Each structure stands twice: as structure tokens, then as C-alpha cells.
Amino acid sequence: MIQAKQELLAALQTALAEMASGLGVAAPAALFERPKQAAHGDLAITAAMPLARALKSAPRQALPTAPRGGMSKVAEPPLPMSNPREIARQLVQALQATPAAQRWVQQFEIAGPGFINLRLCAAAKQSVVAEVLAAGNAFGRRAASGQHMMVEFVSANPTGPLHVGHGRQAALGDSMCHLMQTQGWQVHREFYYNDAGVQIQTLARSTQARLKGLAPGDAAWPEPAYNGDYIADIAAEFAAGKTVHADDREFTASGRADDLDGIRQFAVAYLRHEQDLDLQAFGVHFDHYYLESGLYADGRVARTVQRLVEAGKTFEEGGAQWLRTTEYGDDKDRVMRKSDGSYTYFVPDVAYHLHKWERGFVKVINVQGTDHHGTIARVRAGVQAAAAGIPAGYPDYVLHKMVTVMKGGQEVKISKRAGSYVTLRDLIDWTSRDAVRFFLISRKADTEFTFDVDLALKAGDENPVFYVQYAHARICSVLAAYADSGRGGAAAATRAGFADADLALLVAPTEAALMLELGEYPEMLERAAAELAPHDVAFYLRELAAAFHAYYASERFLVEDAALARARMALLAATAQVLRNALALLGVSAPESMSREADTAAAPEVMQ
């Protein structure tokens, strides 16, 4: 089906270009959509409407037609040229003359104001099975482009355990990395944090207070302070002279309560280690950890400020230094250096992103909470003002809203360990890594999300991760039964074992629907990557699982007709492959066996 779509898309692009050229207007994008109702067809073309809009006020002229020998003849249309149905008719006529349509399209139909619905021939749908089985894990992936990009995510200062918001960032960021890799990008994962700011000083003083025997509520307890039980744990380990190892640092405690700098370094290393454990449990790794303090230590902040001054993009007012961000679309100019001589928080961000570009990352995506929305305009303005040749709109942002956690019908607001919020580790311990990762990626990032712990534990169809994983497990069960039956030899249940299957036998309506879903996978990946929308992968998985479960409920598989059974095994093997591929993008496993509380969708016998 991938080949069929590619050939049809090329034919559509050529037809639109010739028609638009003859009319003196720009050609609309050549693309296919899925009809909202399956009964309307397999693919839809909506190009007639934008062409009609472009022609609405143009003088009357002829529309090109597609006679038997080509598409260059011009004839006076029977309807006004701005009528989208007439444009659709002319476009269908042009497409029908192409080899691609003659090979792959069973029927064209014009509907409504000018929609063109296509019904693909059976061979076009069936071909996707062989394409999936031949490509395996690479199905839907583009060849490596050689271009480098960075995704920065989580980036939590080491002041406490990772909370569920960090978990949503981790799920979004890691899935985004996997998604962009399918489009040929070489992806670098980076974690950026501050080990020397005001929050870190608060962490050090909170730990020091615990070392002195104080506790939250005591008269001498410092304010502000971190009150969670984890502060007492850090103090105990420091007093014992322990050494802590994190992915990017190591430190040995002196054990002295008066060693505030040592306490600070130990607490940072301790919490970085705790973050590493949480991220390992979540299946997330980073290629590099970048310190905000390093931007000052190596002079990058100072050089960035000087660069902006030399570019003429700053001015002095009220004892402060300002950046002319209004020249780049911001609603007002922004302070860079305050009257006390310190820099505002967006200045090191600008230096950091200039360094990202200098390191060769031509595309950068930052995954952050919606509270960072205000930084977007000023960071982009600073990057542009530096005149480094960086394209406008650099970097890209994916902003997410926070997560509400429900358990036992009640909102869970605090964790004893953290003191004020639910941690990522809490969610993993209460449910599973698979459930947390799937749930946190299952909604658009900028929408509110409620994580229902009870739902995540259910072994039923209402639990989306179970519903998808169970589809894979069901397929594995059928394939195992086929292999155990001795049909097709030892390689019967492998991809190679179905290379000779007669796919022309796959004509049942539920088979056609399932094959159409398989054919959507590469285009879904391309759209999701272009729109920075990894949640589309979760949506697709639910649709694919639904198409499989409908197939499972309507057909038998180990039928007496050996050729039909083999063809159906090939389709099942292809479906399992795409399920595994898509689940892997989300960091979710594809189990080969599962149990459920009550198989309410219990399918008919797979044997006849």
C-alpha cells in the first residue's frame, strides 16, 4: 500500500500542478486524507475546494481536461470555473488517465461540495502486509539524513524527587526522540540543570538544619526550606560520610555540619543519583547533562551579552541593561542585567541555545511546562539578535500542562517522601512503567490530564494500554497455535515464513479495514514528527488495536483451507510487527502473553 500511495500521490501532484498552471493560480498541496466514514472510501482528496477559492474572483477561463493522449487540451467547462465540483470532475478525469490510478484505484467518487473519494483495489490494500513483513522493525522509518537535532527535556534542578510533571516531560521527550529518529534525524538527548542557584542554596541549608537535629516546625527551622523526608535521608547519608555516584558527578561527604559547601555538593549528587534511578525505572537515558553554572564559568554568558551589545540590540535605562525584544515580536523589551548587576534568567538561556547551534544542532526541541510560555519570545529574540545565522523560530517548544492523580476516586495531592507532591516513582510503584508511559503520552501535551491509578491497574478494554498490549498478546497466541499445529514448517511463525502467502485471499471487510490501518503508519509518523505530536502514536495504537480486535471477533484463523490460514497468519504477523514498532516509540513493551479479569470481548474459536 505504501508503494500504491506514493505512486498515486505523485500522479495527484502532477495533475494539480498542470491544472493550476493552466488556470494561473498556485497549486494546492497534494495530499490524501482519510474519509471520516469508512463507507465513503479509503482515501479522500480535498484539493478542489482551495482551487475554487483561488479562482473565485478570477475572470472566467477554460479548465484543462485530460483527453486520452494527455492533459494538455483545454476546453470550456460546462459549469463556472470556481465551482469545486467541476474542478473535482476535471481532476478525476486527469487522474483516471494515469497508470497509477489504473493500477491501484477501483473507483473515484465526487461527493458534497467537491470531495473526491477513492476506493483502492484489493491488491493495493493487501500489498501492505508484504511491505511490513519485509521491513520489520524498519517499517515506516526514513533513511538517515545525517542531520543532528537535540531534544532537551526533564531538566529538573536537583532539589527533590521527580514529580509527575517531570514524568510527563520524560514520556513526551523520550517519545519525541524516538519519533524524530524514524524520520532520519540523529537525535541527542540533553538534561540541563542548575547546581548553584538560590534553590540549591535552600537545599543545602535545609539539609544542614537536619544535620543539626532540627525538623520542620521547629523554631529554628530555616525559611524557606524543603520539608520532605528525603532531606532527612540526605542528612543521614552525609553524616555517615557516604560517597554518592550520579551519571554526571560523584561526591564524598565530610560528615561535618558546618561544611555548607560540602553539604551542597553532596545533596546535589545525592538527588541527581535519585533522579537517575527514577529515569532508569522509567526507561529514559540522556546523552549529556549540561550545567547552567558552566555557562558562567566558561564565559559564555558574558560573551553572549557582549555579542548583543555589539549588534546594537541593547540599551541602558534605569540602571539596567535591556534587550530590544520588541524588534522580534515580543510585547515589550526585556531586562537582561538588573540594577544590582545580576542577569535575569533568560540571558543564560540565550547563551545556552547559541551553544546548541554552535554544536551543530540545526533543530532543537525543548519540552517544558506551560509556566515557561513567557520565555519563548525572549529566548528566540535573543538568539535572533545575536546575528548568528540561526533561522527564525529556533528553538521549537513543546509545552505541557500538569497532571492530576486520582486513586480510589480521590485526588492524591502529596507524597510522604516528597512532602508536597506525588512523585514519578509513586506512579510507577502503584501501577507499572508501561502504564505510566502510555498514559502520560496519551493526550496532547497542552491539555489537562488526569492519571487514574485504578484505571491503569484494570485488565480490561477500558484501560487503553491493556487494550493495545492485549492485541499483541492475542496475535502471539494465534501465531503460536499455528506453529504448534505443524503447518508451514519450523519457520511458520516468523516473518520470513509468510513470504509466499497468497495475500489475494484477504478480502473480508475486517481484513481490508485492518490493512488500511497498517498502511496509515508511515504517514502517521511523518505527521506526528512534523507537528511535534507524539500523542498521535498513542491514538494510532488504539485505532490499530480496535481494527485487530474487530477482525479477531469476526473471523477464524486456523481454518482448514491452508492457503487462507497462511494468508491470515501473514496479516496477523504484520499487525503484531506494527504494534511492536509503535509501542517501542512510546517506550512501552509488547508482551506475548497476558491475562484479563473477564474477556468480555471473548472472540470465537480461532480454529474451525
> What CA–CA distance (Å, rounded) separates 341 from 185?
41
Of the candidates 120, 138, 172, which is a domain's last residue? 120
> Is 386 inside any structural domain?
no
> What CA–CA distance (Å, rounded) separates 379 from 393?
10
> What CA–CA distance (Å, rounded) separates 66 from 61?
16
pLDDT at 413: 82
pLDDT digits (tens, 9 = 90+) for 219-231: 999 999 999 899 9
Phi then psi for residue 433, to 5 deg, are -60, -45
> Is 507 inside any structural domain?
yes
43-45 sheet: strands from edge to edge = 43-45, 115-120, 105-111
**Cα 66–chain centre separation:** 42
8 Å CB contact between 119 and 106: yes
User: Do β-strands 449-452 and 403-407 pair in parallel, antiparallel, or remain unpaired?
Assistant: parallel
8 Å CB contact between 366 and 375: no
- Segment 267-296 shows an average pLDDT of 96
CATH of the domain at 100: 3.30.1360
Which range is least confidently modeled, 76-90, 165-179, 215-229, 423-437?
A: 76-90
Q: Which domain holds residue 564?
A: 464-585
> Is 163 inside any structural domain?
no
Other beta carbons less than 10 A from residue 379's beta carbon: 22
Radius of gyration (C-alpha) of the chain in whole angstroms: 30
pTM: 0.88
Per-chain mean pLDDT for the chain? 90
- All cell numbers assigned to 32: 490524501
pLDDT at 379 over 80: yes
Q: Confidence band (pLDDT; 50, 70, 90) for 598? A: very low
Q: Confidence band (pLDDT; 50, 70, 90) for 2? A: confident
pLDDT digits (tens, 9 = 90+) for 396-412: 999 999 899 999 999 99
8 Å CB contact between 74 and 65: yes
> Is 530 inside any structural domain?
yes
CATH of the domain at 475: 1.10.730.10
Of the candidates 65, 93, 120, which is a domain's last residue? 120
> Is 575 inside any structural domain?
yes
Q: Which of 549, 559, 556 has its CA nearest to residue 485?
A: 559
pLDDT digits (tens, 9 = 90+) for 515-526: 999 999 999 999
pLDDT at 604: 40
pLDDT at 493 over 80: no
pLDDT at 68 over 90: no
> Is 64 inside any structural domain?
yes
pLDDT at 492 over 60: no
Domain count, the chain: 2
b/e map of 247-285 (b: 16 or more CB within 10 Å)?
Answer: bebebebbeebebeebbbbbbbbbbbbbbbebbeebbbe
> Is 474 inside any structural domain?
yes
Of the candidates 103, 120, 137, which is a domain's last residue? 120
> Is 515 inside any structural domain?
yes
**Cα 297–chain centre separation:** 35
Peptide bond into 348 cis (omega under 30): no
Q: Where are the alpha helices (DSSP H) in 555-604?
A: 562-585
Q: How far is CA 453 from CA 152, 404, 412, 459, in A?
A: 28, 11, 10, 13
pLDDT at 179 over 80: yes
pLDDT digits (tens, 9 = 90+) for 237-280: 999 999 999 999 999 999 999 999 999 999 999 999 999 999 99
pLDDT digits (tens, 9 = 90+) for 146-177: 999 999 999 999 999 999 999 999 999 999 99
> What CA–CA distance (Å, rounded) separates 599 from 85?
49
pLDDT at 499 over 90: no
pLDDT at 571: 97
